[in-house]
Structure 1
Amino acid sequence: MQILLPKLGFSVNEANLVEWMVADGATVAKGDPLYALESEKSVQEIDAPTAGIVKILKPAGEVYEVGTVIGEIA
């Protein structure tokens, strides 16, 4: 399953991927904290949408557009 950068607000088109809360290759359960995003107004933790092994495709500390594939859960 692809991990897409979500739309955090009506006018938000990009966000800063502040940190990955799991390591590349880590196993997560559905609902585990996965990464943190910062938009113009707030920092939000995003939970894993499914269980599996995380593959990080985009590094933290960068700004990405909504819909960018930042990782995968297999």
Structure 2
Amino acid sequence: MATEILFPKIGFSMEEGTLAEWLVPDGASVSSGQPLYVLESDKSAQEVESPGTGTLKIIAETGQVYKVGDVLGEIV
């Protein structure tokens, strides 16, 4: 069963942010808690960890703005 990678809400008022960089390439094996990508909000940049263990399938492109809850990828 796939685990969705969702764009997280980092701050109380955050509604959207930019996917700055994937830290792991598409198709790579990842572990729960491993840093997956960097997101940028209006106040900071932050690494976001993997929600599960498996193979990363990237859906979202870097440099784009996403809303909180948007699907960025999957771990299968």
Could you say which TM-score interval applies, normalised by the shorter chain? over 0.9
Q: How many residues align?
A: 74
CA RMSD of aligned residues (A): 0.5
Q: What is residue 2 of structure 1 aligned with on the other side? A: 4
Q: Name structure 2 gaps, 5 residues minimum.
A: none
Percentage of identical aligned residues: 54
Q: What is residue 40 of structure 1 aligned with on the other side? A: 42
Shift of 1:49: 1.1
Q: What is residue 55 of structure 1 aligned with on the other side? A: 57
Q: What is residue 25 of structure 1 aligned with on the other side? A: 27
Per-residue CA shift, 1:38-68, capped at 9, x if unaligned? 0011000001111100000011111100000
Aligned partners of 1:28, 1:50: CA distance in 2, in Å? Answer: 8
Aligned partners of 1:17, 1:31: CA distance in 2, in Å? Answer: 18
Aligned partners of 1:5, 1:31: CA distance in 2, in Å? Answer: 15
Amino acid at match of 1:49: P
Aligned partners of 2:5, 2:31: CA distance in 1, in Å? Answer: 14
Amino acid at match of 2:42: E
Q: Name structure 1 gaps, 5 residues minimum.
A: none
Once superposed, which parts of structure 1, at least 4 consecutive aligned residues long, lie more than 6 Å away? none
